[in-house]
Amino acid sequence: MNQSKPANNNRLNDLAIGAALFLLTAAFVLWQNTRVAVLWDLSYLLDTSWRIALGQVPYREFPLVHPPLTFLIQALLMRVFGRHYLIQILYAALSGGAGSVLCWRILHRILGQESPHVRWNAFLLVAPLILLGIYSIYPHPIYDCDCALAILFAIVLLQRFAASQTLTAAVAAGVAVVLPVFFKQNMGLPFLMVVIAGLLLLWTLNLRSLERRQLNRPLIRLLGTIAVTGMTAVLLLHFTVGLGNYLHWTIQFAAQRRLPGLADMLAIYRQPSLLWSLPALAAGLLLLVSKWGKNLWAQILASLLLAAPFLAVVSFLFMNDDADERADSLLALWPHLLIVAALLPLFELRKGVSLPRLLPFFVLAAIHGTFMSQQLWGSTYAIWPLLMLLVAQMLAMIPQSHAKLAPALALLASVTLLVSGGSYAVSLERLNYLHIPVDEPMTRATLPALQGMASRGPSIANFEELTAFVTRQIPADEGLLLLPGEDPFYFATGRTPQFPVLLFDPATDPYSPAALLAEARRRGIRWVIVKTQLQSTDNPLPQPAEVMELVDKEFRLCQKLAGYDVYQRR
């Protein structure tokens, strides 16, 4: 009984911590949604999901450069609950809370269940995710965040498989590692490929040892499940949307428009801060393993050297008022930690290759795949939980002789990310591609479908004026073309899209200006609505001058609204 009491207390403590993490993260996501609405990304997600809910088939009937799962989930929610933006807000909040809880459970296993500081260290590392969780920075439903959640779920199941190696664990993990590919290809595909490579490496190494050959049976089950799940997905795509169509839009076209060159991929590792942070790290590690490593002064100095990058971020926060420079200072932690997270696990593999020791490489693959998106290595908004997994892995490698360093470094990392990361999230710095006038009052949507949407500036009010005009003046069966498509028009109005592309930017628009107008003519589009006051800081429409020149030849301006020009075919 004396032994069961601590176990019960630990379970109650874990339940309380998990519930608190879930609720606090979800509450922060809900609060973020009361402050901003990113119309550009929302229009793509909501309008695409709405047309799928209406029965239109992506890849076959209209282009879609992203995998389908996020859109299918939102389409299902629309079919079940109707067009209510509050459902999308709630979805993001619940998913954000789930991401923090999953990360916390993964941290427990990484840090070691028997470690005396495991709960304290895990709590410290996961606490910043309340402010930096998968949906805390960008608070609306989107494929990047959903993919990050799917990767966390897959890692949880891989850890369970490594611990039990049962058939059930193999099947669950095998299915889970394939799912991220169908949320976001540039994140999920590298993750899947490196997982498969790691499992094959383990299988090969086991063949060389008579004692370990029996361990290959669970690996074969896991690899077999991955293969079956992948083939099932391929067959589903083939018989629903056409495999050729899917590969063309999500691989060929997406790579043509988004895949960066090698120099851009390596840009993350050209950060000036690495010139001092890496030598400081090396000096700290060398001091710990030197003959002076057991001395108190050496441990204090080594700790300061290892902590220097985090201390620099916090110091810069109080020394500089510029939000852009603060964000750059925080993001500069990424290349430093990624290099360390790659080198230390390689060193750890000397003790033997195992699935838990390969985990950092799975995470690194997903992170670097994310940085390929739109050539923005600083686009970390959905993957801070993955970084915390790498930090935990590094802390777990601290030798027992210096075990007291782990809680101290965990505390420092937690404070740094709570303070600097909190500033980054609250300031909406990641959303600096929007024009958010801080001196203007908050505008809240009144349209029934958009209840809960809020943002500063005139964008929401202007959009609602447009929808009122369209309802009065344009019959529901007449085709519309909205340029550049920044607003969730079809979700808000319930109209049926009659043009293949709804969002016009270089990543989603396959048309030249002439082809765009020719397709509009072929489909009988009678109205063109041009947004003149964008929420985005730049007009994403490719070749806007050429497009408008052709629009003026075939359409006449019939109405000027606050933020929109409405054209009717001549």
Tens digits of residue pLDDT in 429-474: 888 889 988 888 999 999 999 999 999 999 999 999 999 999 999 9
- Cα separation of 7 and 489, whole Å? 54
CA distance 228 to 222: 10
- Phi then psi for residue 318, to 5 deg, are -90, -15
This prediction's pTM: 0.94
- Which residues, other chains included, contact 152 with Cβ-Cβ below 8 Å and sequence gap of 6+? 99, 102, 103, 106, 134, 385, 386
Residue pair 418/127 in contact (Cβ under 8 Å)? The answer is yes
In this structure, the chain runs to a length of: 570
pLDDT score at 374:
47
- Assess contact for 327 and 429: CB atoms under 8 A: yes
DSSP string, 370-389: HHTGGG-TT--TT-HHHHHH
Amino acid at 64: L
Do 232 and 171 form a contact (C-beta atoms < 8 A)?
no
The single-letter code of the amino acid at 379 is S
**Helix (H, G, I), strand (E, B), or coil: what is residue 529?**
strand
Rounded distance, CA 203 to CA 331, Å?
A: 37
User: Token pair 């319930």 is at which residue?
Assistant: 494
In this prediction, residue 399 carries a pLDDT of 76
Output DSSP code: residue 418.
I
pLDDT score recorded for residue 304: 87
pLDDT at 114: 57
Supply the pLDDT for residue 2: 53
Residues 447 and 494 sit within 8 Å (Cβ to Cβ): no
From its phi and psi, is residue 165 left (phi > 0), alpha (psi between -120 and 50) or beta? left
| Domain boundaries of the chain, sorted by first residue | 4-31+95-431, 36-83+436-570
* Helix (H), strand (E) at residue 346: helix 333-348
Residue 300's SS3 state is: helix
Q: Within a 10 A sphere around the Cβ of 79, how many other Cβ atoms?
A: 12
- Strand (E) positions, 216-322? none
Tokens representing 562? 């606050």
Is 99 in contact with 382 (CB distance < 8 Å)? no
In angstroms, the CA 562 to CA 12 distance is: 56
Q: Is the CB of residue 81 less than 8 Å from the CB of residue 90?
A: no
Q: Looking up tokens 């609204």, which residue turns up?
A: 561
Q: How far is the C-alpha of 165 from the C-alpha of 168, rounded, in Å? A: 8
Order across the sheet with 525-531: list the strands. Answer: 479-483, 525-531, 564-569, 555-561
Q: In which region does residue 365 sit, left (phi positive, over 0), alpha (psi from -120 to 50) or beta (all else)?
A: alpha
479 three-state secondary structure: strand
CA angle 433, 141, 50 (to 5 degrees): 105
| Residue 397 CA, distance from chain mean position | 27
Residue 136: how many CB atoms within 10 A of its CB? 31
Question: What is the mean pLDDT for each group of 10 consecutive residues in the chain (570 residues)?
Answer: 60 87 97 96 97 97 96 98 97 98 93 71 92 96 97 97 94 98 95 97 85 82 96 97 96 84 74 90 86 82 88 84 81 89 89 92 93 63 94 85 80 92 90 88 95 95 97 94 96 96 93 96 96 94 95 95 95
